[in-house]
Structure 1
Amino acid sequence: MISTKKLIKLARKWQKLAAIRQKRIMSTIFKGDDAEKCYVKGHFIVYTVDHKRFVLPLVYLNNNVVQALLELAEEFGLPTNGPLTVLCDTAFMEYVVTLISHNVNEDAERPLLTLIAGSHRASSS
């Protein structure tokens, strides 16, 4: 049987090791102290106009709706020193993500593309 002193000593050792591992993991996830700079490999981060953050897989860049949103943002000026912001609100972006995640066909994307193109023409005139 292990004595109480040995159990306490082992517990402290494991707590220290766990703390060291946690610090190491957190330092690789967070660059600095800002939680907004959390990056996930194979993903990109976009913000909506109402400052909602979306972490999207890189595969979504192949989607026509995401490409249209990024082109629209590029045309109206992407921030040079800030986060990538698409010109839509949170509800619209959540709808886009839902459609992409359910692998909808191009026929379902057409109304969104028309809506994006319509908003582009309205804001440019």
Structure 2
Amino acid sequence: MSEPVQPKLATAFGATAALLALIVLSVAWEWWLAPLRPGGSALVLKAVPLLLALPGVWRRRLYTLQWASMLILLYFAEGIVRGWSDRGLSARLGWLEVALAVVFFLCALAYVAPFKRAAKRAAK
């Protein structure tokens, strides 16, 4: 019989904190920090998919952490594009988005990995 998986709570906390920071960044960036148009931009809606993932990430649901780790790659790509192509504050916010996406991705994978290994062992 296999022993139960001991989840790494620090990685779950890191994923949750990075996701929350990315939501705040997305809203602040597109509403008032450096919107595409003065007065705000409809790109603020890019925070909605992150908000949909938040309850499951908060509750440390493996399925949510798995699909959110794939979703976060879109934010990583946007951050790279805007970091390279934008100027000034918007470029710096793009690089911050990249950093937060990487932190979320690594924390989510580190949290999920022991469960995946245990499931693989149990299947044998």
TM-score by length of 2: 0.30
Greater relative contact order, per chain length (Cα 8 Å cut-off, separation 6+): 2
Rg: which structure is higher? Answer: 1
| Larger strand proportion of the pair | 1
* TM-score, with structure 1 as normaliser: 0.30
- Which structure's residues are more often helix, by fraction? 2
